[in-house]
Chains A and B, each alone.
Chain A
Amino acid sequence: MTAIESLRARIERIEGGRRRAKSALSFGLEALDERLPDKGLARGVLHEIAGGGRTAGDGPAAALFAAGIAARTRGKVLWCLSRPDLFAPALAQVGLLPDRVIYVEARDEKTVLACMEEGLAHGGPAVVVGEAARLSMTASRRLNLAAEKTGAIALCLRRWSRPNDAAEFGRPTAAATRWRISALPAAPLPVPGVGRARWRVELIRSRGGETVNLELEACDASGRLAFPSDLSDRSAAPPVERPRRRASA
């Protein structure tokens, strides 16, 4: 056993066996999976997702990123929110069908976190999503503990209505990974119109892993991300259902 491995084993013992091999949800993208410590998005822990750019407070791309993750699991999804502006048809367009999602419209963020914890500890839902501006160290630890018991994936969508609250996202939490999803200009099409959305997917923080900064094509109809075909030599992603285009500027 090399020195590093023995050190890892010691760290595992100190952390109470928490870093034992966990099952993970693969993104189906080598560049992303390879750099995550569990070769995918680990189950049974908390992940944080926020938006980037000028619409970061609403984080539409971050919401779709979370919906894409949920779409690739099986079972129910519990979505806790305090501002009901999520538009369900868009979730269905990334493969998260309406029959699977149960929404909880809580009065405040404290209740959002409490309902998330309840859902994680129950183990029925495969994925529990919560939208909150503030996530304290204590609250995130509680979510981690609840998720660990059942192996559900906990996703905290960080969103805020006042620009001052954006600083909250910088505070340390117990989440295993922290993502930032921001919109990028799409590849120009040969005809006028809007191409497949493109995101900058940043893994800003990853416990026991490295950071990632990738330019990817947004979730398709089954919630999968893809490499932009003009950036890689791999074959292009399967065609997405697109609306028929008419004249536009």
Chain B
Amino acid sequence: MVAADGLARGQGLRVGMAAARATAAVAELDVEEHDPAADAEALERLALWVLERFSPIVAVDGTDGIVVDSKGADHLHGGEAAMLKSLVGRFAVAGISARAAVADTWGAAHALARHGAEPVFVAPPKHGAAILKPLPVEALRLSSETSEALRDLGFSTIGDLSNTPRAPLALRFGEALTRRIDQAVGRRSEPIEPLRPAESIVASRNFAEPIGAAETIARHLGKLVVTLCAELEEKGLGVRRLDLLCRRVDDRIEAVRVSTARPVRDVGRLTRLLCDRIETIAPGFGIEKMTLVATLAEPLAPTQKLASLTDEILPDVASLVDVIANRVGEERLYRLAPVESDVPERSVRRIPPLAPETGESWRRDWPRPARLLRRPEPIETLALLPDHPPASFTWRGVRRRVRAADGPERIFGEWWKRDEELSAVRDYFQVEAEDGERFWIFRSGDGEAMETGSQRWFLHGLFG
């Protein structure tokens, strides 16, 4: 037995069991020969997939892991925790159960992902060594002999090790042990050698004299983009993801990634996108090598510029979308499209800014407010009859007398979405206050039966 997932462990199988015992425990077990080469290949394919979608610096970690440098990538995915969740979620869709952790160093993230994540764990920034102390010594990426010998000597956690003088440990177990400890707590740097797709298009430049000034970086960047685009043209490709990797003299790699909504091969546009991000590169003591990698390239189909002579040409906004998306994040740039739903909050969905035009719009039979509050706010009302709109209401401490009202527009809960909505009802009214301002208010419930709602009034929007 080489590996066991949650299901297998539930059946009583353990790593290290003999095949005969395992088949005895679970009768319908299929036995497959362990193929380390195929496993490594599959892991590398997975790492490439992560590289294309999450971060420019990704590498295979051991035989069962992937290490990702998430600096500069997490904000595009809505923060570290959200990024890990999305990563694990996407793996789960592909049938892979994964655990993930974010920490300050490769070593710490390796340890926490294997011994702390359920299934994700985000270590606070600048966590130091304390967070590793309760973890077992196996978390340190040691050879199995070393960790067994450590266990024999009574060291079970990393905390035990760090309380022991270093010299005798190094003498007994070799330099590997102290190096792993130093790497995990960040006393020694550990650069990640990024994985690169086999046939990806690359342009790179070495510098005899390390460079650091933003203008110098921009100048060399311009030349790299020209080289890369010439190569792309030969193959008829355009880039969707372009990574700039800057190797510093201290062996660290600073990375910048730009994404485009459609394949692009325009020198000016790509240079512009990359130059916008130069300020995020910390050159340290200088950059000695710059590499430009077209991580994701797609065929660039020649486009028809003009559909017909009579059509008015409307300017293309694709290049603008790329510039803004790389600045604020892709998910913050969107178009809105209608959804068939009577519940106002659900009637709008986001679609990519360059999605084909839908030609759809919302129904126009009832007026809709220009501003919709994030959540309906309770209001105090004075109503004459249960079925009528209120005669006056108080919202955010201001009392308004109702001059005229339209309604009710009855909206039923969508019972197919949530059970609680089976009998829920909202009665919407458009009311005009004395000074002419208009509001969208509703009563939760139909005014009679308590199971339809609390019968309380809420303000949901402001009309223009």
Contacts and interface: CB of A to CB of B under 8 A. Distances in A.
A90 to B, nearest CB: 4
B94 to A, nearest CB: 30
Given A60-B463, A104-B333, A118-B320, A194 B438 contact: yes
Given A122-B320, A197-B438, A185 B388 contact: no
A194 B406 contact: yes
A102 B332 CA distance: 10
Nearest to A182: B436
Contacts of B327: 111, 114-115, 118
Nearest to A159: B371
A146 B367 CA distance: 36
A93 interface: yes
Interface in B385-405: 387-389, 391, 398, 402-405
Given A118-B323, A125-B317, A54 B371 contact: no
Nearest to B385: A249
Contact of A248 (B317, B368, B389, B435): B389
Given A63-B370, A76-B314, A193-B404, A106 B388 contact: no
Contact of B437 (A55, A99, A101, A107): A55
A184 interface: yes
B371 A221 contact: no
Interface string B368-385: 111111100000000010
A147 interface: no
Interface string A162-206: 000000000000000000011111101100111101100000000
Contacts of B6: none
Interface in A125-160: 125
A28 interface: no
B310 interface: no
Contacts of A65: 464
A163 B462 CA distance: 18
The residue among A63, A90, A92 with the most chain B CB atoms within 10 A of its own CB is A90
Interface string A71-89: 0001110100000011111
A119 B408 contact: no
A246 interface: yes
In this complex, the member of A65, A89, A119 whose beta carbon has the largest number of chain B beta carbons within 10 angstroms is A89
Nearest to B319: A122
A106 B348 contact: no
A246 B336 contact: no
B408 A246 contact: yes
Nearest to A75: B314
Contacts of A218: 464
A76 B317 contact: yes
B336 A101 contact: yes
Contact of B324 (A67, A87, A97, A104): A104
Contacts of B437: 53-55, 183
B335 A185 contact: no
A244 B463 CA distance: 18
Given A74-B314, A99-B359, A106 B328 contact: yes
B438 A241 contact: no
B33 interface: no
B368 A102 contact: no
Contact of B328 (A97, A115, A184, A194): A115
B408 A106 contact: no
A159 to B, nearest CB: 9
A83 B323 CA distance: 21
B369 A249 contact: no
Most buried by A among B324, B335, B368, B431: B324
With most chain B CB atoms within 10 A of its CB, the pick from A78, A185, A244, A247 is A185
A102 B361 contact: no
A217 to B, nearest CB: 12
A33 interface: no
A48 to B, nearest CB: 17
Contact of A88 (B348, B408, B429): B348
Interface centre among A92, A98, A115, A119 (most CB of B within 10 A): A98
B65 interface: no
Central interface residue in B347, B353, B384, B408, by most chain A CB within 10 Å? B353
B47 to A, nearest CB: 31
Contact of A194 (B314, B368, B430): B430
Interface in A206-249: 218-219, 221, 241, 243-249
Interface in B103-124: none
Contacts of A98: 335-338, 358, 360-362
Contacts of B407: 246, 248
- Interface pairs A-B: 10 shortest CB-CB: A64-B464, A124-B317, A60-B370, A87-B372, A89-B362, A183-B436, A60-B464, A61-B464, A89-B368, A185-B436
29 contacts: A60-B371, A60-B464, A65-B464, A67-B370, A76-B314, A86-B371, A87-B369, A88-B336, A88-B348, A90-B369, A93-B362, A97-B361, A102-B335, A103-B333, A104-B333, A115-B328, A118-B323, A122-B323, A183-B435, A183-B438, A185-B435, A186-B432, A194-B406, A194-B431, A197-B464, A243-B406, A248-B406, A248-B407, A249-B384
Interface of B: 312, 314-317, 319-321, 323-324, 327-328, 332-338, 344, 347-348, 353, 357-362, 364-374, 384, 387-389, 391, 398, 402-409, 429-432, 434-438, 461-464
Interface of A: 53-55, 58, 60-65, 67, 74-76, 78, 85-93, 97-99, 101-107, 111, 114-115, 118-119, 122-125, 181-186, 188-189, 192-195, 197-198, 218-219, 221, 241, 243-249
Given A101-B336, A104-B328, 16 more contacts: A60-B462, A64-B464, A90-B368, A93-B368, A102-B321, A104-B332, A104-B333, A105-B334, A106-B328, A111-B328, A115-B328, A118-B324, A124-B315, A124-B320, A248-B388, A248-B406
